[in-house]
Amino acid sequence: MAVTTAAAVRRLCATGEVRSALAVLARGAKSCDTVLDVAACTALVHGWCRMGDMVEARRVFDVMPRLGVAPNEVTYTALIHGYFVHGHREMGLTLFEEMRRGGVEPNLYTYNCLIGEWCRTGEFERAWLLFDEMPVKGVARNVVSYNTLIAGLCRHGKLKDAIQLLEAMRKEGIRPSMVTFNLLVDGYGKAGKMSNALHFFNQMKASGFPPSAVTYNALIAGFCRVRDMAQAIRTFSDMKERSLAPTKVTYTILIDAFAKENEMTRAFEMLSEMEKTGLEVDVQSYGVLLHALCMEGKMMEARKLFQSMDSKGVKPNNVIYDMMIYGYGREGSSYKALRLISEMGKIGLVPNVASYCLTIRLLCNEGKCQEAEALIDDMVSAGLQTSESIDRILLDAKARLDDSTYVPSI
């Protein structure tokens, strides 16, 4: 392959134009210019991985040796990472073992990728083994290596280990980044340890990193988690005073927290402010409010909010419908629940098992056995399993109906 062709393949793969890169290769093959280099092949592997086509990525990888091109550590890492990202964990781990057996040494990115995967599943012994192996193999750890492990430890509540790692990081001469501090603020916020979260928030500023919206969101969420709404609002105000625009995440955190505290007026004020700032109010924001209203039995308000979604260009999803059906079920409105199930069918949505079962129970309690049977048939047609309890409820309802209509002969 000519150098210019190899460069073209790499450039096209980098911009996601993998099929165009293959067309370039095809033209090269027709002109007998079929000499491939490892960089071009790796670019193709990486390109297919980015597109989510792991079969094609593996096919290119497997073809390489037959073309006289040996995959290197970059090629292996690209494919391993692709496997992890697209949910093929075991294939990624198997490939890592193949890599080692083949004498290809992992590089910094390989180690970081594997450490991240072990942390994701909470298998820290394996993560630590690789982390400790890096300097032994002559691979210098970087801030990403540390942040990856700190992220995993914080996610799984191992905050003391995360702090020890932060100290080790500093001793190794690696300066914590904004990401490092955000991870710790978030970790302690999720644990409800707000004094520690504020400590790292202040350390972050002292280290020359201005807090970002991500930092503030983590703090606000932490205060909401410990039900300190006054401090959450003060942090929200501080965020705006620092000319940091609250994000959709910020508002959703506060809407959810006020709704859980049953401060619906404040929750709706946050929704209104969110709309005024020009942020898109999505289905999740509506869902938070609808959930609170349905749980409180305020179905008139819930219905009004539900109907307003369409005028705002927000389409209700399965979760929203199921929530409304649950609310109507709690108040015993079988007709309204049944109407929503019918509405879902018309727009191609399928209620969940709980929505079906709740509505069937209501219909049976009201003696509407035909409607209940029809709903069971719909449920089965949708590929959902009924239960013995639902079948029994229907049989009991039919028996009651038969008893009530029985007229003894004279």
The 10s digit of each residue's pLDDT in 159-198 is 999 999 999 999 999 999 999 999 999 999 999 999 999 9
Each residue's pLDDT tens digit, 257-299? 999 999 999 999 999 999 999 998 889 889 999 999 999 999 9
Structure tokens at 6: 């190899």
**Helices (H), strands (E): how many in the chain?**
23, 0
| The predicted structure's pLDDT at residue 132 | 96
Q: How confident is the model at residue 369 (pLDDT cuts 50, 70, 90)?
A: confident
The four Cα atoms 280, 285, 286, 291 give a dihedral, to 10 degrees, of 180
Q: Which burial class, exposed, middle or buried, applies to 231 when counting CB atoms under 10 A from its CB (0-12, 13-18, 19+)?
A: middle
Buried-exposed string 5-39: b where 16+ CB fall within 10 A, e elsewhere: bbebbbebbeeeebeebbebbeebeeeeeeebeeb
Q: Where are the domains of the chain?
A: 1-91, 341-403
The reported pLDDT for the residue numbered 403 is 62
Question: pLDDT digits over 36-66, tens only?
Answer: 678 888 888 888 898 899 998 998 899 888 8
Q: What is the pLDDT of residue 409?
A: 41
Q: How many residues does the chain have?
A: 410
pTM exceeds cut of 0.85: no
| Burial degree of 304 (CB within 10 A; 0-12, 13-18, 19+) | exposed
pLDDT at 33: 53
- For residue 322, the model assigns a pLDDT of 93
Task: Out of 14-18, 134-138, 237-241, 359-363, pick the least confident.
Answer: 14-18
Count the alpha carbons within 13 Å of 51 in the hemisphere toward its beta carbon: 19
Residue pLDDT, tens place only, 197-217: 999 999 999 999 999 999 999
Whether the predicted pLDDT of 239 surpasses 90: yes
* 68 backbone dihedrals φ, ψ, rounded to 5°: 80, 15
Q: What is the pLDDT of residues 396-406, one digit of tens each?
A: 888 887 665 54
Q: Which residues of 70-109 are buried (b: 16+ CB within 10 A; e: fewer)?
A: ebbbbbbbbbbbbbbeeebeebbbebbeebeeeebebbbb
Classify burial at 3, counting beta carbons within 10 Å of its beta carbon; exposed 0-12, middle 13-18, buried 19 or more: exposed
Q: For residue 324, what pLDDT band results from cuts at 50, 70 and 90? A: very high
pLDDT given for residue 143 in this prediction: 97
Distance CA 390, CA 395 (A): 9
